[in-house]
Amino acid sequence: MQQRVRKIVIVGGGTAGWMAATTIARLSKGVGFDIELVESMEIGTVGVGEATIPPISEFNRSMQIDENDFMRATQASIKLGIEFVDWTRHDHSYIHPFGWYGVPMHGIYFHHFWLRHLAQGGTIPADAFCSNIMACRQNRFGKLQPDDRLPIPPLAYAYHFDAGLYALYLRKLAEADGVKRTEGKIVSVQQDGESGFIESVTLEDGRVVAGDLFIDCSGFRGLLIEQTLHAGYEDWSHWLPCDRAMAVPCERTATTTPYTRSTAREAGWQWRIPLQHRTGNGYVYCSEFMSDDEAASKLLERLDGKALGTPRPLRFKGGRRKVVWKKNVLSVGLASGFLEPLESTSIHLIQSMCARFVFMFPGDGFNPATIDRFNRLAREELEEIRDLLVLHYTATERDDTPFWRHCRAIKKPESLAQAWEMYESSGDIIIEGGVLFKEPSWFAIMHGQGLKPRSYHPFANIPSDAELQRRFDLMAGDVLKRVATFPTHDEWIRANCPAPPLAMKAM
């Protein structure tokens, strides 16, 4: 256990590998680690993972990444939220925004006041109080002007980007910080006979790469954490039945929408991710209810531009690695577990795992208590996201296909059942410290998926009817005023970060 870390080996050069390399290299400058990343072009990367969530701006800030430069280099667009189409029922859509609804009053969340408004027969939709949603609906984006005095918060946003270009962008940063890249396929792994710690990996051509600490970013295969250390996998497919995806890009449309779209389909759902040079698409489905050929042909039928290639199949099992850190191996990215991309959380999990690892870095050795705590935090983080995903599938009126009837019968995790019951009985959304998804996310999805609270917080009755109406008019008016000052999303991109034209290759 007492093994001072000097040499760090990162296995894999996808988004996880290069994010880990950039984070550790940039934040550890001055410590003098020797960092080597091994990747195999022959194996390649998963090639998807193009929608993100707002904490990615913290990553950019801490890595000193210039936003415009990064957006140009990765053909990126802005993401203000996700539109969920046909999830609740056919011909229905709602947006899960990244920003807040209204402002909290009398010490409680805004949504309680809106529930009162509804209970009194009011008809103003909750969306009217959220600038992110209104900006999505009008395809606008902008940042606060220095003289902006409106009391509503600025737009919270993330990005859509080209996964391949993103890995390349991070690679340049990491290499500039001294990370050594080694191209080659790992064919065997050597362990210490007594402790089981990984000592080195051997490449196909016989080269040996030794290290003190190994970061397994080898994707679904989990080369070190699973194939070598047998950490174990907890299968969550009884909660999240989708296990396949078909992915294909298509030509871009005239308008670059500032949000991801997720459309519920007969046996899963379809994503649409608008980038500057193309649109990314995929059908996530459950193999028990749909064949690969059918998924591919349904996806191609439903693109809004000409397909740029043939659909590429991907297989996965929703769940988590039982321990993400074992001995001297930390698994990051797909090697650490996978939750389908319904809420675009995987890249965030890479970011948060790397940040936490830096924080809990093994200094003089690998302390079992630190490793246990790390694994517990990773589990809790994933369970919260899992609950939000299961909510989408189980709070639905849809029963029009065997897949949706199967979803409606899913027995919810206890933690979700509790959150659901609290919201339905009293409109309460209780957010614990440190969780990723805050009140507006839970409200957007619970309300959007059709859950109806029987009551609301008693403090929401404090303002008189006239006073509540006055505040509502003011807030909804401010949202409209704010959004009207923003340029369209395309105008904003043209003014700030237009990407160079790229020759489009088929996938």
Ligand X SMILES: Cc1cc2nc3c(=O)[nH]c(=O)nc-3n(C[C@H](O)[C@H](O)[C@H](O)COP(=O)(O)OP(=O)(O)OC[C@H]3O[C@@H](n4cnc5c(N)ncnc54)[C@H](O)[C@@H]3O)c2cc1C
In the bound state with ligand X, the residue whose beta carbon lies nearer, of 22 and 346, is: 346
Binding ligand X (rule: CB under 6 A), the pick from 142, 333, 427, 448 is 333
Q: Which is nearer to ligand X, 273 or 419 (CB)?
A: 273
Cβ 318 vs Cβ 245: under 8 Å: no
**Contact of 163 with 49, CB cutoff 8 Å:** yes
Of residues 251 through 310, those in contact with ligand X by CB under 6 A are: 282
288 or 491, CB closer to ligand X?
288
Region 402-441 residues binding ligand X, contact defined as CB under 6 A? none
Among the listed residues 245, 389, 419, 483, the single contact to ligand X using CB under 6 A: 245
Non-local (6+) Cβ contacts of 24 within 8 A are 8, 33, 35, 215, 354, 358
| CA nearest to 215, candidates 43, 453, 21, 451 | 21
Cβ-based nearer residue to ligand X, 445 or 475: 445
Radius of gyration for the alpha carbons in the chain, expressed in angstroms and rounded: 23
Give the residue, chosen from 5, 9, 10, 14, that forms a contact with ligand X under the rule CB under 6 A.
Answer: 14
What is the nearest approach in angstroms of ligand X to the Cβ of residue 112? 32
Total number of residues binding ligand X (CB under 6 A)? 39
How many other CB atoms sit within 10 Å of the CB of residue 300? 16
Interface characters, 30-69, with ligand X (x: CB under 6 A): --------xxx--xxxx-xxxxx-----------------
**290, containing H or E segment:** none
Give the number of residues written for the chain: 507
What minimum distance in Å lies between the beta carbon of 336 and ligand X?
8
Spatial CA neighbour of 135 closest among 116, 117, 156 = 156
Please, what's the b/e burial string for 387-422 (b: 16 or more CB within 10 A of its CB; e: otherwise)?
Answer: bbbbbbbbbbebeeeebbebbeeeebbeebeebbee
Biggest CA–CA distance in the chain, Å, is 79
CA 314/CA 163 separation, integer angstroms: 15
Q: Indicate the residue type of 430.
A: I
Beta-bridge partners for 51: 160
Active-site option among 79, 326, 327, 412? 79
- Smallest distance, ligand X to C-beta of residue 399, A: 26
Binding marks (x or -) toward ligand X, 96..125, rule CB under 6 A? Answer: ------------------------------
- Three-class secondary structure of residue 84 per DSSP: strand
- Is 306 a residue of the active site? no
CB of 111 to ligand X, least distance (A): 27
249 binds ligand X (CB under 6 A): no
Minimum distance, C-beta of residue 14 to ligand X, in the bound complex (Å): 2
Q: List binders of ligand X among 167-226 (CB under 6 A).
A: 185-186, 217-219, 221, 223
Do residues 307 and 300 lie in contact, with contact meaning Cβ atoms separated by under 8 Å? yes
What is the smallest separation between the CB atom of 311 and ligand X, expressed in angstroms? 11
Which positions touch ligand X (CB under 6 A)? Answer: 12-17, 38-40, 43-46, 48-52, 163, 185-186, 217-219, 221, 223, 245, 247, 282, 314, 316, 333-335, 341, 344-347
Give the catalytic positions in this structure: 79
